[in-house]
Amino acid sequence: MSKHNVMTHHDQELAHLKERLISMATHAEAAVNRYIKALLDRDSDAAAKAKEEDRVIDQLEVEIDELAIALLAKAPLASDLRLITVTMKISHDLERVGDEATTIARRTVELNQEPQLKPYIDIPHMARLALEMLREALDAFVNRDPGRARAIIPRDKEVDSLNKQLHRELASYMIERPSTITRCLNLMVISKALERIADHATNIAEEVVFLYEGEDIRHQIKNKSAPGKKE
């Protein structure tokens, strides 16, 4: 009976670890959405709240690390060991997503001090793609679906392509109209932040594949396109 209770308690601890990770993911996704909306609505007050949201995300990462270390100290089974270490890696990626959200908020406040440069079409589109990737990577983690995680990884190229396209367009603006340089640079930073969020979603998807299939695909997929043309 006591052995059964120990196992049940262990399962509860693992479930709690997962629950904190999902909570962290929800906060990170909401932060990105909030600050992209603040950019579109030119709402500096909403963007100015970024630091407190980032503090919540940072605190969740610390909590997850502490829970994970406590579980690791109990010499878990190999399958649980992989789950615990992957959870720590995913929480690190989510903390970085939170940092990128803060960057978007900070640049939004600066952009709102000048007239809007152009209609924002590419940026909300990039945000939607990156956050869909992030959400699906977490869903693949929760639903034990490495196939779905694998399908997310190639989508990173679309976000990379949009980021490059926007950077080219903004570089032309800066040359033609030097008065737009500050606004263009701020938009470039926001675009790059969204591209990095897609990178973190890709990292999470790769960790999900490793967790459920035991295969490390981090460099394998990237290297397949190496011979011949370079991206």
The pTM assigned to this predicted structure is 0.89
pLDDT at 231: 34
Which DSSP symbol is given to 77? -
Q: What is the pLDDT of residue 227?
A: 39
C-alpha dihedral sign at 193, 26, 51, 107: positive
Does residue 223 register a pLDDT over 80?
A: no
Give the containing element (helix H, strand E) for 188. Answer: helix 181-213
> What local confidence, expressed as pLDDT, does residue 214 receive?
82
**With bands split at pLDDT 50, 70 and 90, how would you rate the model's confidence at 78?**
confident
Q: How confident is the model at residue 51 (pLDDT cuts 50, 70, 90)?
A: confident
pLDDT at 1 over 70: no
* One-letter identity of residue 228: G
Q: pLDDT tens for residues 131-163?
A: 999 999 999 999 999 999 999 999 999 999 999
Instruction: Reduce the secondary structure of the chain to three states and give it as a string.
Output: CHHHHHHHHHHHHHHHHHHHHHHHHHHHHHHHHHHHHHHHHCCHHHHCCHHHHHHHHHHHHHHHHHHHHHHHCCCCCHHHHHHHHHHHHHHHHHHHHHHHHHHHHHHHHHHCCCCCCCCCCHHHHHHHHHHHHHHHHHHHHHCCCHHHHHHHHHHHHHHHHHHHHHHHHHHHHHHHCHHHHHHHHHHHHHHHHHHHHHHHHHHHHHHHHHHHHCCCCCCHHHHHCCCCCCC
pLDDT for position 79: 79
Mean predicted confidence (pLDDT) in 7-25: 87
Per-residue pLDDT at 219:
63
Residue 34 three-state SS: helix
Which pLDDT score is estimated for 192? 98
Whole-number CA gyration radius for the chain? 20
Q: How confident is the model at residue 3 (pLDDT cuts 50, 70, 90)?
A: very low
pLDDT tens string 84-123: 999 999 999 999 999 999 999 999 999 999 999 888 889 9
For the chain, domains (ranges, CATH) are 2-224 (1.20.58.220)
Residue 11: its pLDDT value, please?
A: 80
To the nearest 10°, report the CA torsion of 86, 127, 167, 190: -80
Can you give the length of the chain in residues?
231
Contact 64, 88 (CB under 8 A): yes
- With a cut of 80, say whether residue 5 has pLDDT above it: no
Q: Taking residues 74-91, report their average pLDDT.
A: 89
